[in-house]
Amino acid sequence: MNSLQYGWRNLWRNTRRTGITLAAVCLSTAILMASYGLMDGLMQHAVSNATNLVVGEVQVHAQGYLADHSIYKALNEPDLILEAAKQKNVAAAPRRYGYGLVAVGTKSAGARFWGVEPASERATFDLAQHLQEGRFLSETARRGVVLGQKLARSLQAQIGSEIVVVVQAADGSLGNDLYTVTGILKAAGDSIDRNAALIHAEDFVELFVSGDRIHEVALNSRGMVPLDKLTELLSIAAPEEEIKSWRQLMPEVSDMVNLFDAFIWIFGLIFLLAAGMGVMNTMLMATYERIREFGILKALGATPWGIIRDVAAEALVLAALGTVLGTILGLAGSYYLQQVGLDLSIFAGTYSVGGVAFNPIWRATISPKMVLIPAVLMLIIGVVASLYPAALAARLDPVKAIHRP
């Protein structure tokens, strides 16, 4: 008979009380897991949208480019960056940027032109699949353009519409041409939605007379290479350039992720405390009911530490049982939330935070940490909550305890 077996038997001396406490621990664990899964899902969705869609994990620009987006501030040696990325099996997409006017019929708007290499974009990002209608740019330059959702709407452009483009080229001349809309992006963040016009890199060079200027290399390992390692790799390959992680490029999203992270802990703490109070209450009641018994155990030679161990073991058994049941319930709930999700479209529709679009269907993720963290914390809080009643039992005067009616 060890402390755990003794604790197990003691639990069932009052089945109703134990049942109620078990239900509280079980529900707290389940809610904690499902909430953690939802929050983690939202964070992963945010990070995934932020990085996999278009931004990447790290971007490299010429010093000062991000301040004024000048067409003349190009990377010194983009090939070295692409080569370093290739050596580490990290996908990279070189991009060129320029500004101009676009018009369809009588409708016109300012646009930011992206000169992209379709094959690199496809290999590095999800943008090529993120289309509301039409198709992404083909591998060969054919005067095709993919527009941001809101830009297309303001121009009343449709697939196949012809767009007149007027830009100021790098050599000072006016560049103009006629492009055909091949695709319209889904919501991808406010900035892209309002002014992005994606064209083939070769078309861009021709339109802007930009030569071999590359303004940005965006790298995306899809989580395979830690952010700090990726940054370190690039600082060696391109020490002169400006290297920024997605957290620096999108501080709002980074802050939001940190906020969610803090929220998970605060939310979790509240549930843990509530469950811990339940365990403490049960153990206090159990202790008061068994004062005489503890007195006998002390008379027989049980040390204060032995009494503490017995009470804590009983709480551990209670918390462990509740946690196991809660884990089963929490996993079932999380599975449902992963498969079906919570539809928030009636509240928010498609929305974006910090320029990153969010799917209104909020889905949970299931991961080892979303199971382990709540489970381990619940076990710890269960045992910690028992220490006060355990200390009370350990400090009992055996004579008074034995003669208690």
- Site for other proteins, rule CB under 8 A: 1, 6, 9-10, 13, 292-293, 296-306, 398-399, 402
Any residues with CB less than 8 A from the CB of 9 and at least 6 apart, and which?
A: none
3-state secondary structure of 379: helix
- Our CB check for other proteins shows the closer of 259 and 399 to be 399
Closest distance between other proteins and the C-beta of residue 397, in Å?
Answer: 8
Closest distance between other proteins and the C-beta of residue 370, in Å?
Answer: 36
List helix spans (H) across 343-367. Answer: 345-348
Closest distance between other proteins and the C-beta of residue 283, in Å?
Answer: 16
The structure tokens listed for 14 are: 């009052």
Dump the DSSP string for 163-232.
Answer: EEEEEE-TTSPEEEEEEEEEEEEPP--HHHHHHEEEEEHHHHHHHHT-TT---EEEEE-TTSS-HHHHHH
Cβ count near 312 (within 10 Å): 21
- Our CB check for other proteins shows the closer of 277 and 299 to be 299
- Our CB check for other proteins shows the closer of 304 and 360 to be 304
The structure tokens listed for 31 are: 């809610």
Question: Amino acid identity of 308?
Answer: I
- Our CB check for other proteins shows the closer of 307 and 371 to be 307
Closest distance between other proteins and the C-beta of residue 281, in Å?
Answer: 21
- Our CB check for other proteins shows the closer of 112 and 309 to be 309
Closest distance between other proteins and the C-beta of residue 293, in Å?
Answer: 6
The structure tokens listed for 250 are: 């999108």
Strand 196-200 with 242-245, pairing: unpaired
Closest distance between other proteins and the C-beta of residue 306, in Å?
Answer: 7
Return d(Cα 370, Cα 382) in angstroms, integer. 18
Closest distance between other proteins and the C-beta of residue 26, in Å?
Answer: 23
Any residues with CB less than 8 A from the CB of 114 and at least 6 apart, and which?
A: 95, 96, 97, 196, 197, 198, 199, 204
